[in-house]
A = this chain, B = another copy of it.
Amino acid sequence: MKLSKKSEYGLRALLELTLAYGTATLQRHDIAARQHIPVEFLEQILLALKRAGLLASRRGMKGGYTLIKSPEEITLGQVIRILDGPLAPISCVSKTAYQKCRDCPYANKPQCPVQHAMGPVRDAIAGILDHYTLADFTSGHHHN
């Protein structure tokens, strides 16, 4: 039931990139310093977000990262799925990464009690996180 550091750092990094959206590109060390994230670890995260199509980057002097989509289009659910995998507490109730549970005596049967309990949990989590955008995430936030 836990959010990894990777996702937490990823969200905080995207917060900075959202604040800079349209006006500036940010470098690893800028983000790392503002959010107190180890720079080499942050790098991995930014690369993953880039591969997933959320960020663009430039190398060399004056390089850095920028958001490639508008903050209203990116949800926390997307980000967490990229960095941490599926939101569902158990894969037999996942919608984005469903997997039949093997060795469960109720697998396949219509009334698996675990699914019955965890389905609504996954829907509640996804219902919040898939409607919460980076714009929402940043609103109310002012630097220093």
Contacts and interface: CB of A to CB of B under 8 A. Distances in A.
A140 B116 contact: yes
A88 B138 CA distance: 21
Contacts of A44: none
Interface stretch (A20-28, A61-69, A125-133): A125-133
How many copies of this chain does one complex carry? Answer: 2
26 contacts: A1-B1, A1-B3, A1-B85, A1-B125, A2-B2, A3-B90, A8-B114, A11-B113, A11-B114, A11-B117, A12-B113, A15-B113, A35-B105, A36-B103, A76-B117, A113-B137, A113-B140, A113-B141, A117-B128, A117-B132, A120-B128, A121-B124, A121-B125, A121-B129, A124-B124, A124-B128
9 smallest CB-CB distances across A and B, nearest first, come from A124-B124, A3-B89, A3-B90, A36-B103, A113-B137, A121-B128, A1-B87, A111-B140, A120-B128
